[in-house]
């Protein structure tokens, strides 16, 4: 919505394919005809992964802040 993109099954499939390829490969090359949304699909994927990482980090921080540290004196 922020980028004024229309969600279509084909575009979501492209994003999922990028995700799967990224999981099993070190490098990634997007190949296709001009105007087939290769760059935009990659930008959407990177932004989605960035948001996912931020959510995970927030969850981790909340869990970490809930734990209380106890100081032990060693004799």
Q: Whole-angstrom Cα distance, residue 30 to residue 18?
A: 9
Structural domain spans, the chain: 9-66
**Each residue's pLDDT tens digit, 44-62:** 888 888 888 777 766 766 6
pLDDT in tens, 12-47: 898 898 888 888 877 788 888 998 888 888 888 888
The model's pTM:
0.62
Please answer whether residues 41 and 14 qualify as being in contact, where contact means their C-beta atoms are separated by less than 8 angstroms: yes
Q: Tokens standing for 26?
A: 């070190």
Can you tell me the distance from the alpha carbon of 64 to that of 62, in angstroms, rounded to the nearest whole number? Answer: 5
44 contacts 51 by C-beta, under 8 angstroms: no
């Amino acid at each position: 919505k922020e980028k004024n993109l229309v969600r279509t099954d084909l575009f979501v499939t492209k994003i999922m394919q990028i995700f799967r390829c990224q999981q099993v490969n070190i490098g990634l090359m997007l190949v296709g005809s001009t105007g087939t949304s290769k760059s935009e699909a990659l930008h959407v994927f990177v932004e989605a992964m960035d948001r996912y990482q931020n959510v995970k980090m927030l969850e981790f921080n909340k869990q970490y802040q809930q734990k209380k540290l106890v100081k032990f004196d060693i004799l």
